Amino acid sequence: MDLKNTVLGIELGSTRIKAVLLDDRHIPVASGSFDWENKLVNGVWTYDMADIHRGLQACFADLAKNVEASFGVKLTTTGAIGISGMMHGYLALDKSGEPLAEFRTWRNTITGQAAGILSREFGYNIPQRWSISHLYQAILNNEEHVARLDHLTSLCSYIHRKLTGLRVVGADEASGMFPLDENGQYDTVMIDRFHALIRDRGYNWKLPDVLSKVLMAGDEAGALTKEGALFLDPTGTLQPGIPLCPPEGDAGTGMVATNSVRVGTGNVSAGTSDFAMVVVDHKLNVHPEIDMIVTPAGKSVAMVHCNNCTSDINAWVDLLSQFADAIGADSDKSKLFPLLFQKAMEGDADCGGLISYNYFSGEHMTQLEEGRPVFLRRPDCRFTLANFMRTHLYSALATLKLGLNILLDEEKVKIDKIYGHGGFFKTPGVGQTVLSAAVGSPVSVMETAGEGGPYGMALLAAYKLWREEGETLEDYLDNKVFASAKSSTIMSSQEDIDGFNAFVAQYAKSLDVERAAVKTL
C-alpha cells in the first residue's frame, strides 16, 4: 500500500469514534473505532475531555493495528486527514486552549431562554444546540468563565486545533455556531445585534475574535504538527506534515457521505439523534422547527433535527438480549437487531394501538426541555412482538416527521432524491421502508451508508487532495466518487404511508402523556 495515496476521515460521534481510511478509488480499506457514551452530569449532557483525548487515540491505534494486520505496513502517513465531530454544542477555551467549562453537547436542551431571545433579535431561527445559544445562555446565567473566553469552538474544530494549531472550521459546522451571510462568513448584522445585547456586561472580547475562521470545502486548513502527530498517535509512528482539510460537523459529513450536496437532494441521518437535510434553492420563512445551515461548499440547507432516535430501540434490544440469555438462547445483539427489525415489518401498518416516546433527553420539536422514555398502549391494542418493534421504529422517526411536514407541506420544498444513512438503516430494507412511509417518497441507501460520517469526512479530505482546478464538490462527488456507486431504493406501500400518518397523528395527540411523565417522574 502507498499510504500517500490514501485519505483518512475521523469522526467523534455520539456513541462511537470511528476512523475510515480510503484508497485513491475512494474505497474504504481499513477502519478503527472506539465506543463511548455521553454522561448526564449536573443536568448537562457531556463527555469528559480526558475521555475525548483517550478515545481519539484509541480509535487511531485500532486503525493503525488493522492497517498493519491487513497490509503489513505501519501507519506512518496518509495523503490527507479530515476531522469531524458531533455538531455544534459548546466548547469555551481560555488563552492557553484549555476548557473553561464542561463540553456541552448538541443533546442539551438547557438554552431555551437564550435561543428564544436570539431568534427574536436576529429574525432568524437559532436552535438550542447552536454554539451561540450556549454562549448567550452562559451569559444570562452569569457564569464567571465567560469573561475569560478566548476561543468559542466545537468538537471537530477543537481537535483540528490540537492537530494543526489553527483556529478554523468548515462552513457547515460554522453555520451551526453562528449564522452565516450569503458570502459564507459570519453575519455582521447579527454580530452587531449580539454585541448590543451584551454591551453592559463589559467583556473584553468580540465575537469575530473568539470564533474560528470559516473555510469552504477544499480550502487550505493547515498540516499536522509534531505536537499534533504525538497527540493523535503517542507512539510516535505517525509523522507530521500531513495536510488537513477543514473540520466539519456530522451534518456536513452526512451530506457528503450520501452525495446530498446538490440542490434538490436530501438525506436523513438516523442514529442516536436523527436529522433530515435538504439543499434548497429559495429562501424559506422562519420556522422554529427548521434550521438553516449550509453544505461544506456553502449551499443553503433546510434541516430538521431531533435529539432522540435509536437510544430507546437499543435499550429494548438490550433487555430482550438479557431475556434470551436467561433462557439459554442466543443473546448476540448483532443477530437480535436484524431479527427484531425484520419482525417489525410483520406488524400492523399503524402499530395496532401502541405508542412509544423515545425521549431520553429533551426535544425542541415538541417543546420538551427534558425527556422520559414512555411506552403506552390501549386496552384493545394488538400487543404483539411485531407491533411492539414496529412502534419503536416509528417512534424513532415520529418527531422528525412532524418537522418534515412543515418543510414539505408549508414550504413546498422539492426533493429529487433522498438518501438514508446511519445505524437505523443497517438491517437491509427495514429502515428504508419506515423512512419512505414517513416522507411518502422513495428512499435510497448506498452500500457505503454504514460507514457514515467518517466516510464523508474522508471524502472531504480526498476532495482537497485530488480535485481538479475549478472542480466543485458536487461535480467531484457525482463524477469521481458515486458515478458507479451501488445503492438500493425502496418505496413504501400506500398502506404503510397511511399507517405511519395515523400513528403520528395519535403520537402528536398523546404528547401530554410525555409531558406528564417529565413533570411527575
405, amino acid identity: N
Q: How confident is the model at residue 450 (pLDDT cuts 50, 70, 90)?
A: low
Answer yes or no: is pLDDT of 176 > 90: yes
Domains and CATH numbers, the chain: 88-153+178-211 (3.30.420.40)
Q: 236 in the Ramachandran plot: left (φ > 0), alpha (ψ -120 to 50) or beta?
A: left
Taking residues 9-21, what's their average pLDDT?
A: 95
Answer yes or no: is pLDDT of 475 > 90: yes
Q: Report which of residues 408 and 103 the model is more confident about.
A: 103
Query: DSSP letters of 8-43?
Result: EEEEE-SSEEEEEEE-TTS-EEEEEEEE---EEETT
* Residue of 42, 39, 47, 7 whose CA lies nearest to 23: 7
pLDDT on residue 136? 98
Number of other residues whose CB lies within 10 A of the CB of residue 514: 22
Q: Supply 227's cell numbers.
A: 505536537
- % of the chain at pLDDT higher than 90: 84
* Residue of 249, 360, 350 whose CA lies nearest to 294: 249
pLDDT on residue 473? 97
- Over residues 65-92, the pLDDT tens digits come to 999 999 999 999 999 999 999 999 999 9
Least confident of 165-169, 185-189, 364-368: 364-368
- Over residues 374-404, the pLDDT tens digits come to 999 999 999 999 999 999 999 999 999 999 8
Pairwise CA distance, residues 437 & 349, whole Å: 10
- % of the chain at pLDDT higher than 70: 99
Pairwise CA distance, residues 271 & 421, whole Å: 8
Describe the crossing of helices 49-71 and 155-164 by its angle, rounded to 10 degrees: 70
pLDDT on residue 335? 95
pLDDT on residue 415? 82
Taking residues 354-382, what's their average pLDDT?
A: 94
Under DSSP, the state recorded for 298 is: -
pLDDT on residue 448? 65
SS3 72: coil
Answer yes or no: is pLDDT of 449 > 60: no
SS3 167: coil
Least confident of 210-224, 277-291, 452-466: 277-291
Q: How confident is the model at residue 485 (pLDDT cuts 50, 70, 90)?
A: confident
120, amino acid identity: R
Computed over every residue of the chain, the mean pLDDT equals 94
List of E strands, 321-400: 354-357, 374-377
Distance from the Cα of residue 172 to its chain's centroid: 11
Pair 392, 312: CB distance under 8 Å:
yes
Task: Measure CA of the first residue to CA of the last residue in the chain; give whole Å.
Answer: 57
Q: Which residues contact 243 (CB under 8 A, 6 or more apart)?
A: 79, 80, 81, 220, 221, 222, 223, 224, 464, 465
* Residue of 287, 398, 361 whose CA lies nearest to 89: 361
pLDDT on residue 288? 86
Phi, psi for 6 (deg, rounded to 5): -125, 160
Taking residues 331-344, what's their average pLDDT?
A: 96
pLDDT on residue 187? 97
Answer yes or no: is pLDDT of 474 > 90: yes
Under DSSP, the state recorded for 310 is: S
pLDDT on residue 364? 82
Residue 457 CB-half CA count within 13 A: 32
- Over residues 115-144, the pLDDT tens digits come to 999 999 999 999 999 999 999 999 999 999
- Over residues 301-319, the pLDDT tens digits come to 999 989 899 999 999 999 9
162, amino acid identity: K
Answer yes or no: is pLDDT of 283 > 90: no
pLDDT on residue 273? 86
